[in-house]
Amino acid sequence: MSGVAHLYIHLPFCARRCGYCDFYSTSGKEARAPAYLESLLAELEEAADLMAPLQSVYLGGGTPTRIGARPLARLLAAVRRRCAAEAEISVEANPETVTPALAGSLLAAGATRISLGVQSFSERLRRNLERSGDAGQAARAMKTLRAAGHGNVSLDLIFGIPGQTRAGLEKDLAAALSLEPDHLSCYELSIRPGSGYARRWEAKLKAAGAESDHFYEIVVDILEAAGYRWYETSNFALPGRECRHNLGYWAGADYLGLGAGAWSTVGLKRWQNIPDLERYIGRTGKFVDVRRTEDLTAELKLWERAMLGLRCDHGADRGEIAAVVDLEQEKSLHRNGFIMTGSDKICLTRAGRFVANEVCARLLRNIEEPRRPAERAGCGGPGT
């Protein structure tokens, strides 16, 4: 094995939990950040033997920037000692945490890419997301980041928010584009059935009726027209600004995840650190104790690789995924205009990309216990 080149670090601190969010994070626990940082540094040391010079690092959360500029700089310094010269180092930031001092410190510490979690510019829709902060903060944060010299900034948006109309979505996209981001991630709101959020917003979501059915197409049309490449289901980039870290996940590369709740996949082993801040802090030096490990089969890895590859515009390598492709379905999907098959690639057509989950479910053979691979890989690998 040649060593893992992609590293994710999870920082589970938030000012307040947003109603819709299912990622592991805590609120009101910043006092534990110094102890957590020590544990992260210890886990980084422990994992060093598994690493090649890192090509990409992603600090996600939670809200990484809530631990403050100095602790982040210390973490980045430790990480950079393990990085290749041209490594991409992304840091997620919530707009309200971005001050000139933080922006300058992140750049000096080696962050090469910032991902700003905006979600929506509308005060009303932010309320419906049960999200703190105000809509003006994103523009101020972008200005601050650019002034500090950050040349690669991505924005996260969510669509399909309760109460969102077509006009509201178009307004959000226009507001995002006016900030001239290098990259955009646009996720359809996913709501865990049976959650408190689902119960609170059920009526409003039903009231939206068919209007929201076309939101995804609107997102793609508007961002493509503005010059962004739709390079993955939910991700859009100006030329050369694709997220290299996520491209690694989608290409099926091994990755290590440090921190409470983070996932790792190395060869045929996958493990998750237990999503519990105190247990993670308490196990410093014995991280194996806070892991849940599963053995993957070669077939499952291939299936995941096919799934993830097909989500990207360049598709999946035909020869590589042949063993998990249903040949009858392939012919039928091809005939019906959902996939293109060349000699070396299988790609989804534009029509196919809008129904990617359904196309993949038909194209790929059922295998034992298929698991959904990372849809928002930046947030800690599969299922975090």
Ligand X SMILES: C[S@@+](CC[C@H](N)C(=O)[O-])C[C@H]1O[C@@H](n2cnc3c(N)ncnc32)[C@H](O)[C@@H]1O
Binding site for ligand SF4 (CB under 6 A): 14, 17-18, 21, 23, 25, 61-63, 94, 117
Of the candidates 230, 252, 247, the one whose C-alpha atom is nearest the C-alpha of residue 239 is: 230
Closest CB to ligand SF4: residue number: 21
Q: Which residues of 161-176 are buried (b: 16+ CB within 10 A; e: fewer)?
A: bbbbeeebbebbbebb
Beta strands in 73-181 (DSSP E): 83-93, 113-119, 153-159
Quote the least distance from Cβ 233 to ligand SF4, whole Å: 19
Closer Cβ to ligand SF4, 4 or 191, answer by number: 191
Partner from ligand X, ligand SF4, none binding residue 133, C-beta < 5-8 Å depending on class: none
Q: Give the β-pairing of 113-119 and 83-93.
A: parallel
DSSP per residue, 276-302? -HHHHHHTTT-GGGGEEEEEPPHHHHH
Closer Cβ to ligand X, 189 or 247, answer by number: 189
- Residue 348 Cα distances to 20, 135, 240, 363, 374, angstroms: 30, 36, 22, 11, 19
> What is the rounded CA–CA span in Å between residue 135 and residue 125?
10
Partner from ligand SF4, ligand X, none binding residue 235, C-beta < 5-8 Å depending on class: none
Closer Cβ to ligand SF4, 61 or 252, answer by number: 61
Partner from ligand X, ligand SF4, none binding residue 92, C-beta < 5-8 Å depending on class: ligand X
Closer Cβ to ligand X, 194 or 342, answer by number: 194
- Residue 240 Cα distances to 6, 165, 183, 229, angstroms: 19, 32, 10, 10
Quote the least distance from Cβ 92 to ligand X, whole Å: 5
Partner from ligand SF4, ligand X, none binding residue 17, C-beta < 5-8 Å depending on class: ligand SF4
Closer Cβ to ligand X, 23 or 228, answer by number: 23
Partner from ligand X, ligand SF4, none binding residue 376, C-beta < 5-8 Å depending on class: ligand X
Q: Which residues bind ligand X (CB under 6 A)?
A: 20-23, 60-63, 92, 94, 117, 119, 156, 158, 187, 189-190, 376, 379
Quote the least distance from Cβ 126 to ligand SF4, whole Å: 11
Quote the least distance from Cβ 139 to ligand SF4, whole Å: 18
Place of tokens 């027209």: 225
Closer Cβ to ligand SF4, 156 or 254, answer by number: 156
Quote the least distance from Cβ 94 to ligand SF4, whole Å: 6
Partner from ligand SF4, ligand X, none binding residue 248, C-beta < 5-8 Å depending on class: none
Closer Cβ to ligand X, 156 or 242, answer by number: 156
Of the candidates 303, 256, 357, the one whose C-alpha atom is nearest the C-alpha of residue 46 is: 256
Partner from ligand SF4, ligand X, none binding residue 187, C-beta < 5-8 Å depending on class: ligand X
Q: Report yes or no: 92 and 378 within 8 Å, Cβ to Cβ.
A: yes
Quote the least distance from Cβ 239 to ligand SF4, whole Å: 29
Of the candidates 309, 184, 317, 313, the one whose C-alpha atom is nearest the C-alpha of residue 250 is: 309
Q: 3-class SS at 162?
A: coil
Place of tokens 């900034």: 153
Q: 3-class SS at 192?
A: coil
Closest CB to ligand X: residue number: 117
Q: Report yes or no: 153 and 124 within 8 Å, Cβ to Cβ.
A: no
Partner from ligand SF4, ligand X, none binding residue 30, C-beta < 5-8 Å depending on class: none
Q: Report yes or no: 336 and 317 within 8 Å, Cβ to Cβ.
A: no
Closer Cβ to ligand X, 112 or 300, answer by number: 112
Quote the least distance from Cβ 378 to ligand SF4, whole Å: 11
Of the candidates 83, 157, 75, the one whose C-alpha atom is nearest the C-alpha of residue 122 is: 157
Quote the least distance from Cβ 25 to ligand SF4, whole Å: 5
Quote the least distance from Cβ 192 to ligand SF4, whole Å: 13
DSSP classification of residue 359: H
> What is the rounded CA–CA span in Å between residue 136 and residue 155?
14
Closer Cβ to ligand X, 103 or 158, answer by number: 158
Partner from ligand SF4, ligand X, none binding residue 189, C-beta < 5-8 Å depending on class: ligand X
